[in-house]
């Protein structure tokens, strides 16, 4: 591995890079920077969070800025406000010795008038979220007619969040002669589709599945009953008094609920999610970065753009449905040569999900027992003793008070003094863990009959719908769920069994949203097929029963495949299903 000068980076940028402490380029930087500096062809780069993607596209974009032109030459699109702010800050650091380069971030949740004023003063690089960028184009404030570079960062996330139409609109507005750079963690069908539509003869580079810190990460799993998840989280935090980490939840509501409980129980924590105002988000992020907060409770989307190198733990309070998301999460710890721990709090029904994560991420979960009250109290007690032992004593400051202190404590022996001191500092833990029961691992496997009864009761509130895309169009259970989320613009819709056929799919869904789902679906497409959702006349259970009896029918092989898929989906999706925002 060489250095940034060998890659062709100019002197002004090299000086800034050195001041930021970067010495050797990461794999994605080593592949992308010289390609983008020397040529004008499109680029697709597949790389995970934490691999240095911002510098990979940012340095070439800055170096190619024409100082004579005061209009937008490069536009960088990303999914969230936090990531938008983070990218623009990084670019400003890179360009600190190049006075002619002007960079502006545009995003929702803050005054558009201030952003308009900044653009009118002259800017060469825009970093924006799709919604606000589209708004500025429609207002004819942002003119992209001479834009020669477009960067789509976290393209998979932008598409999964429903920004496809916005991206189409923005890309249609720019010159056909532009250079398009697409950076993504995964190459989903939607990402592939947009690359085929808007990119020409693109070079494709791929770096390792996990970021460079992943080799320093241990993966632990605590398998407990669902009712014990929050208490398990508390015990993990108490057993690691120096914890500095992120707890990932599935939904905004769950994120806020867990944060409220945590803070009420006296923990140094706060939440970050989509319902907070920009000011609130910035305040929480600032506190977490400067370590005023020990624990951040977050959704995946809200945590985008949070770049912290010293996290000790990442905790999956809710396991993600997509193994790639787990990879994103775990990659936030174990950076900069430090070790880290990624924890999954799961139950016995999530065995398949854990196995899928292990296979795709090429990791191995280490099963852990939840710390007992005695173990936690010992850990906290010795942490306290070490803190007292290592405290710096300023004898000059305390000298005037020592005689009175000795006089007040002279009736206590050395042993009594220690007991009093420990009790005054430690009673909260002792009282709580003396009264609370220890949590046992949930290794129960005999759940089939109970799960079937629960599923039967739940299905009374469901309706069976049909959508005109199936295996032929590349539908998978995860993509169907994502499709429903996009149509309803919600991540909290209850979905039951999913049965994917050759050219269509039938699925159970909450009756209360059936009408709006059918109405809204007509506005979207899936891989080029216009969607049509309708109430299905087929009954999923009856169909399986009939095909099971036919046994040797020509569709038997088809049925077995569907049955395995359905069994897997039901296992992963029992109970109320909420998806991340």
Beta bridge partners, 183, equal: 45, 153
571 Cβ contact list (under 8 Å, min separation 6): 349, 352
Q: Is residue 43 in a domain?
A: yes
- Please state the domain count of the chain: 4
Same domain membership, residue 183 and residue 140: yes
Does 381 share its domain with 335? no
b/e 269-288 (16+ beta carbons within 10 angstroms → b): bbbbbbebeeeebbebbeeb
pLDDT value at position 443?
Answer: 59
DSSP letters, 534-549, are EE-S--HHHHHHHHHH
DSSP summary character for residue 295: E
Strands 269-272 and 149-153: what pairing?
Answer: unpaired
Which DSSP state fits 437? P
> How is residue 111 written in tokens?
């005054």
Give the best-scoring range by mean pLDDT among 437-451, 465-479, 553-567: 465-479
State how far the Cα of 72 lies from the Cα of 126, in Å rounded to an integer.
Answer: 7
Does the structure show a pLDDT above 80 at 307? no
The continuous run of DSSP H or E covering 89 comes out as: helix 81-94
Q: What is the CATH number of the domain that holds 72?
A: 3.40.50.300
Return the percentage of the chain with pLDDT > 90, whole number: 32
* Lowest-confidence pick of 169-173, 202-206, 270-274: 270-274
Residue 318 φ/ψ, nearest 5 degrees: -125, 125
Per-residue confidence (pLDDT) for residue 336, from 0 to 100: 65
Residue 314 φ then ψ, to 5°: -120, 125
Co-location of 107 and 190 in the same domain: yes
Q: Is residue 443 part of a domain?
A: no
Residue 310 near residue 284 (C-beta atoms within 8 A): no
In this prediction, residues 233-255 reach a mean pLDDT of 91
In angstroms, how far is the first alpha carbon of the chain from the final one? 38
DSSP element (H, E) containing 424: helix 414-435
400 and 466 inside one domain? no
pLDDT of residue 304: 65
pLDDT score for 280? 83
Q: Does the pLDDT of residue 220 top 90, yes or no?
A: yes
Going from the C-alpha of 199 to that of each of 25, 168, 348, the distances in angstroms are 26, 12, 45
The rounded distance, in Å, linking the Cα atoms of 85 and 107 is 8
pLDDT reported for residue 305: 58
Q: Are residues 176 and 57 in the same domain?
A: yes
Same domain, 67 and 196: yes
pLDDT at 302: 67
How does pLDDT run across 524-540, given as a tens digit for each residue? Answer: 877 778 889 999 888 76
Regarding whether 146 and 56 lie in a shared domain, the answer is: yes
- Please answer whether residues 213 and 314 qualify as being in contact, where contact means their C-beta atoms are separated by less than 8 angstroms: no
Taking residue 154's Cβ as centre, other Cβ atoms within 10 Å add up to 24
212 secondary structure, DSSP code: G
Q: What is the pLDDT of residue 57?
A: 96
| 460 assigned to some structural domain | yes
At 237, is the secondary structure helix, strand, or coil?
Answer: helix
Q: Are residues 482 and 428 in the same domain?
A: no
Residue 25 in contact with residue 52, Cβ under 8 Å?
yes
Whole-number average pLDDT of the chain = 81
In angstroms, what is the C-alpha Rg of the chain? 27
Does a structural domain hold residue 493?
Answer: yes
Same domain, 18 and 156: yes
The pLDDT of residue 543: 38
370, 388, 410 - which closes a domain = 370
The residue among 220, 233, 366 whose CA lies nearest residue 297 is: 233
Banded model confidence at residue 497, pLDDT cuts 50, 70, 90 = confident
Using an 8 Å Cβ cutoff, are 65 and 100 in contact? yes
Tokens of 330: 């775990």
Domain span holding position 420: 374-435
Phi, psi of 260 (to 5 degrees): -60, -45
**Domain final position from 206, 232, 261:** 206
Measured CA to CA, the distance from residue 507 to residue 477 in angstroms comes to: 10
Note whether residue 581 is domain-resident: no
Do 421 and 473 share a domain, yes or no?
no
Q: 329 and 311, same structural domain? A: yes
Residue 378: inside a domain, yes or no? Answer: yes
Q: How many CB atoms lie within 10 A of CB 338?
A: 14
Query: Where residue 495 sits, what CATH number does that domain have?
Result: 3.30.70.330
Q: Which two tokens stand for residue 270?
A: 């706060």
Q: What angle do CA 145, 148, 149 make, to 5 degrees?
A: 120
Q: How far apart are CA 332 and CA 335, in angstroms?
A: 7
103-112, 306-315, 357-366: which has the highest mean pLDDT? 103-112
The answer to whether 317 and 256 are in contact (CB under 8 A) is: no
Out of 6-15, 320-329, 553-562, the most confident range is: 6-15
Is residue 388, in this structure, part of any structural domain at all? yes
Single out the residue in 190, 206, 222 at which a domain terminates.
Answer: 206
d(CA 372, CA 375): 5
The continuous run of DSSP H or E covering 464 comes out as: strand 462-467
Residue 386 has pLDDT above 80, yes or no: yes
The reply to whether 221 and 363 lie within a common domain is yes
Asked whether residue 104 is domain-assigned, the answer is yes
- 179-184, strands of its sheet edge to edge: 103-106, 125-128, 74-77, 149-153, 179-184, 43-46, 203-206
């Amino acid at each position: 591995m060489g250095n940034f000068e060998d890659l062709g980076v100019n002197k002004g940028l090299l000086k800034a890079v050195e001041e930021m402490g970067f010495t050797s380029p990461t794999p994605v930087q080593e592949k992308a920077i010289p390609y983008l500096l020397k040529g004008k062809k499109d680029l697709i780069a597949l790389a995970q969070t934490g691999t240095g993607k911002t510098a990979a596209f940012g340095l070439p974009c800055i170096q190619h800025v024409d100082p004579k032109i005061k209009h937008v030459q490069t536009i960088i699109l990303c999914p969230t406000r936090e990531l938008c702010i983070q990218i623009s800050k990084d670019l400003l650091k890179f360009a600190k010795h190049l006075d002619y380069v002007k960079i502006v971030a545009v995003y929702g949740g803050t005054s558009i008038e201030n952003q308009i004023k900044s653009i009118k003063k002259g800017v060469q690089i825009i970093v924006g979220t799709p919604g606000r960028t589209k708004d500025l184009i429609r207002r004819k404030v942002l003119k992209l007619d001479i834009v020669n570079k477009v960067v789509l960062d976290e393209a998979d996330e932008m598409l999964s969040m429903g920004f496809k139409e916005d991206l189409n609109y923005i890309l249609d507005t720019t010159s056909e002669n532009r250079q398009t750079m697409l950076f993504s963690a995964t190459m989903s069908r939607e990402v592939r589709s947009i690359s085929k539509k808007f990119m020409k003869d693109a070079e494709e580079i791929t770096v390792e599945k996990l970021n460079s810190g992943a080799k320093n990460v241990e993966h632990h799993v605590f398998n407990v009953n669902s009712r014990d998840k929050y208490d398990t989280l508390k015990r993990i935090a108490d057993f690691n008094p120096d914890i500095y980490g992120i707890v990932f939840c599935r939904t905004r509501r769950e994120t806020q609920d867990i944060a409220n409980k945590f803070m009420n129980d006296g923990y140094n924590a706060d939440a970050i999610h989509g319902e907070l105002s920009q000011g609130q988000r910035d305040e929480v992020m600032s506190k977490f970065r400067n370590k005023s907060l020990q624990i951040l409770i977050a959704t995946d989307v809200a945590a985008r753009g949070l770049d912290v190198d010293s996290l000790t733990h990442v905790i999956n309070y809710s396991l993600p449905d997509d193994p790639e998301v787990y990879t994103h999460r775990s990659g936030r710890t174990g950076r900069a040569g430090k070790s880290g721990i990624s924890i999954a709090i799961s139950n016995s029904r999530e065995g398949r999900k854990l196995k899928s994560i292990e296979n795709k991420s090429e990791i191995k979960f280490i099963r852990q027992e939840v710390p007992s009250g005695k173990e936690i109290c010992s850990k906290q007690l010795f942490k306290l003793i070490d803190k007292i032992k290592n405290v710096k004593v300023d004898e000059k400051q305390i000298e005037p008070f020592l005689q009175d202190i000795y006089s007040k404590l002279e009736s206590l022996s050395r042993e009594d003094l220690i007991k009093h001191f420990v009790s005054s500092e430690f009673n909260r833990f002792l009282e709580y863990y003396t009264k609370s029961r220890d949590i046992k691992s949930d290794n129960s496997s005999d759940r089939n009959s109970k799960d079937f009864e629960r599923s039967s009761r739940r299905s009374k509130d469901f309706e069976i719908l049909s959508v005109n895309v199936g295996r032929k169009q590349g539908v998978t259970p995860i993509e169907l769920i994502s499709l429903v989320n996009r149509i309803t613009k919600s991540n909290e819709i209850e979905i039951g069994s999913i049965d994917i056929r050759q050219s269509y799919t039938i699925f159970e869904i909450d009756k209360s949203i059936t009408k709006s789902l059918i109405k809204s679906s007509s506005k979207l497409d899936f891989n080029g097929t216009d969607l049509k959702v309708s109430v299905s006349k087929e009954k999923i259970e009856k169909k399986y029963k009939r095909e099971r009896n036919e046994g040797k029918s020509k569709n038997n092989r088809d049925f077995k495949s569907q049955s395995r898929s359905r069994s897997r989906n039901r296992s992963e999706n029992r109970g109320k299903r909420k998806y991340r925002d």
